[in-house]
Amino acid sequence: MTAHISRRSLLGLAGIGAGAVLLGGCASEESGGSEEPQTIRWWHIQDTEPLLPLWAEIARVYEVRHNHVTFDIKPQENEAFKAQLAKVSKAGSLPDLFQSWGGGLLREQVEAGLIKDITDEAAPWIGQLLPAALQPYKVDGRLYGVPFDLGMVGFWYNRDLFADAGITSPPTTWAQLLEVIDRLKSANIVPMALAGKDKWPAHFYWAYLAMRIGGLGPLQRAALDGNFDTPDFVAAGERFLELLAMKPFQPGFRRAEYSAPDGQAAAIGNGDAAMELMGQWAPSVQASSSTSKRGIGSRLGFFTFPAVEGGKGEATDVLGGGNGFAVGRGAPPRTVDFLRTLLRAENQRRAAQTGAVLPTNLAAVGQIKDPNNQVVAAHLAVATGFQLYLDQAFPPAVGGQINDSVAELVAGSKRPDQIVKDITAVARSQ
């Protein structure tokens, strides 16, 4: 169930220029008086600036144009959303439109009969979107969700703090990264920020180390046989322990949440730490979580996860994924049409202009204006391989165990050889 996307599929992220055909089209037809009243329950995790007001405005305009449609919108923080979604899933009823990352959880929801197959309804317009971005939302060749962005995880860093420590360029190898941490600490600068309480940010380190050490092959095999108890996965944990032994993270990081005022993103946005390993949404969350609400602006830089000396993985293989929406089985008829509205070129451009989204509509992709997103898109364009976040690629129980096990590694309560056995036990029980 791991999603692997080829370089050929990703080339469109940076290669489609301003001359691309505008595929957004006009707004949906205004409703007549024959349709029954419909209320669309919409859950999403864009609960802060800049996407929170944008989603609300798009829904408001849709209501004006379709006077029989109303929205019941419930924005939630990421972890709260996941907990609520799990609760309603067990009850056998999902929201009409809700945040999804595809992968293993979506497959489970499909197999439980909770998700609407939108293949046929979306067929007239789905060709407007990047094919690569759709892959995590397909189950057995059928479409069950639509992505509104696609991006990757990498290191976001403060150029000024690097310069203050005498660091002239980002590290390209693991050994160089450890040296950068040492130099930052010597300059009394906190090297890294981490949301230890949320768990999922720490799994990025272990996932990338596994990719750099063993390549994508071990992850592909683990998706088939459930075996994580291999030398490459153990070595990934051992390398992470090397990093942890240097105590690179901000004080109190084990209690820190990602987007809280005193959390991981705020530490970067306020200039209190030099770097964080995070997805393409990082700059906008840094800004919204910072005291100034502007983040660090042009001082922010980006570099990919370094190569590990002696590793079999390519330095151009990336870990990432996209945000999207799935449709509940009993959703009102207009739900898929509204989803189409969200993905129209003009709305994708508006989302891209916030800096929080790398759009998936082909007509919007080539017009990315945000410098940070341009950098991410350029890295994606030369990617040799693509791995969906591990806590999304595998079934929820396995993804949850990966996050829990990596958290135990961070806490020092489990060794690398122990966590791979725990993850394997859960994976093979599925």
Q: Where are the beta strands (DSSP E) in 119-245?
A: 138-139, 142-143, 145-147, 151-152, 154-158
What average pLDDT does the segment 94-114 reach?
A: 95
Q: What is the 3-state secondary structure (H, E, C) of 123-145?
A: CCCHHHECHHHHHHHEECCEECE
pLDDT at res. 180: 98
Helix (H), strand (E) at residue 40: strand 38-44
HSE-CB of 419 using CA atoms within 13 angstroms: 30
CA separation, residue 286 to residues 103, 299, 354 (Å): 27, 12, 13
pLDDT at res. 143: 98
What average pLDDT does the segment 396-417 reach?
A: 97
Summarised one tens digit per residue, pLDDT across range 382-401 is: 888 889 999 989 998 999 99
Residue 24 has pLDDT above 80, yes or no: no
pLDDT at res. 367: 76
CA separation, residue 44 to residues 74, 275, 303, 322 (Å): 7, 27, 29, 14
Quick check: helix, strand or coil at residue 351? helix
Per-residue pLDDT band for 165 (boundaries 50, 70, 90) equals: very high
More confident residue, 40 or 34: 40
Per-residue pLDDT band for 34 (boundaries 50, 70, 90) equals: low
Give burial (CB, 10 Å; 0-12/13-18/19+) of 227: middle
Residue 27 has pLDDT above 90, yes or no: no
What average pLDDT does the segment 83-97 reach?
A: 94
Summarised one tens digit per residue, pLDDT across range 177-188 is: 999 999 999 999
Q: How far apart are CA 261 and CA 412, in angstroms?
A: 27
Model pTM?
A: 0.77
**pLDDT above 70 as % of the chain:** 92
pLDDT at res. 28: 44
Residue 90 has pLDDT above 70, yes or no: yes
Distance of CA 396 to the CA centre of its chain: 16
Residue with tokens 């789905």: 126
Summarised one tens digit per residue, pLDDT across range 211-223 is: 999 999 999 999 9
DSSP designation for 297:
G
Average pLDDT of the chain is 90
Considering only CA atoms, which of 99, 27, 22 is closest in space to residue 61? 27
Considering only CA atoms, which of 421, 59, 19, 38 is closest in space to residue 237? 421
Summarised one tens digit per residue, pLDDT across range 318-362 is: 999 989 999 999 999 999 999 999 999 999 999 988 888 899 998
Q: In this structure, is the dihedral angle defined by the CA atoms of residues 154, 86, 56 and 288, taken in order, positive or negative?
A: negative
Q: How far apart are CA 62 and CA 389, in angstroms?
A: 33
